[in-house]
Amino acid sequence: MFPKWFSEWNRENPTDIFGPAIKIGVLGGAAFVAIMAVAWGNPFADQNMQTGPRGNGMSVTKYEAEITAADPTLADYYDEEPWIPEEGEELAKDIYENVQVLGDLTDANFNRLMNAMVNWVAPDEGCNYCHAGADDGEYADDDLYTKVVARSMIQMTQSINEDWDGHVNAVQENGVNCYTCHRGQNVPSEIWFKTTPVLEATEGWASIQNRATLISQSTSLPSDALEKYLLEYETIAVHDLESRVAGVPGQDDYPGIQHAERTYSLMNYFSNSLGVNCVFCHNSRAFYDPGQVTPQWGTASLGIAMVQELNNDWLVPLRDVYPEHRLGPKYADAPKAACKTCHKGYQRPLQGMNVIANWPELASTEPPVYE
What single string gives the DSSP state of each residue in 94-107?
Answer: HHSSS--SSTTSBH
C-alpha distances out from residue 317 to 309, 311, 321, Å: 11, 8, 8
Q: How many residues in total does the chain contain?
A: 371
Query: What one-letter code names the amino acid at 307?
Result: V
- Backbone angles phi and psi of 9, in degrees to 5: -65, -40
CA 213/CA 198 separation, integer angstroms: 8
Would you list the domain boundaries of the chain?
Answer: 73-179+356-371, 190-343
- The predicted structure's pLDDT at residue 124: 96
Sign of CA dihedral 158, 162, 163, 169: positive
Q: How many CB atoms lie within 10 A of CB 157?
A: 22
Quote the CA–CA distance of 307 and 313 in Å, as a whole number: 10
Based on C-alpha coordinates, what's the Rg of the chain?
29
Going by C-alpha positions, the residue among 89, 109, 78 that lies closest to residue 370 is 109
pLDDT recorded at residue 312: 98
**Type of residue numbered 254:** Y
d(Cα 50, Cα 31) in Å, to the nearest integer? 34
Q: For residue 7, what pLDDT is reported? A: 73
- Residue of 185, 184, 188, 180 whose CA lies nearest to 354: 180
Amino acid 206 reads A
Q: Can you spell out the DSSP letters for 102-127?
A: STTSBHHHHHHHHHHHHHHH-TTTGG
pLDDT at 57: 67
How many Cα atoms are found within 13 Å in the side-chain-facing hemisphere of 85? 19
User: What is the predicted pLDDT for the residue at 120?
Assistant: 98
Q: Could you give the CA distance from residue 139 to residue 130 in angstroms, rounded to a whole number? A: 9
Note the pLDDT of residue 284: 82
Separation CA 351–CA 51 (nearest Å):
18
What pLDDT shows up at residue 40?
66
CA nearest to 362, candidates 122, 145, 66, 79: 79
The whole model's pTM is what?
0.84
* Residue range 190-343, CATH number: 1.10.468.10
pLDDT in tens, the chain (371 residues): 677 776 777 777 777 666 777 787 888 888 887 777 666 666 677 777 777 766 666 777 776 666 667 899 999 999 999 999 998 899 999 999 999 999 999 999 999 999 999 999 999 999 999 999 999 999 999 999 999 999 999 999 999 999 999 999 998 999 999 999 999 999 999 999 999 999 888 888 889 988 888 889 889 999 999 999 999 999 998 877 777 778 777 777 788 888 999 999 999 999 999 999 888 999 888 888 888 888 899 999 999 999 999 999 999 999 999 999 999 999 999 999 999 999 999 999 999 999 999 999 999 999 998 87
β-partners of residue 63 are 46
Q: CATH number of 73-179+356-371: 1.20.120.1630, 1.10.468.10, 1.20.1530.20, 3.30.70.270? A: 1.10.468.10
Residue 192 has φ and ψ, to the nearest 5°, of: -145, 155
Domain 73-179+356-371 matches domain 190-343 at the CATH topology level: yes
pLDDT at residue 37, as a whole number: 66
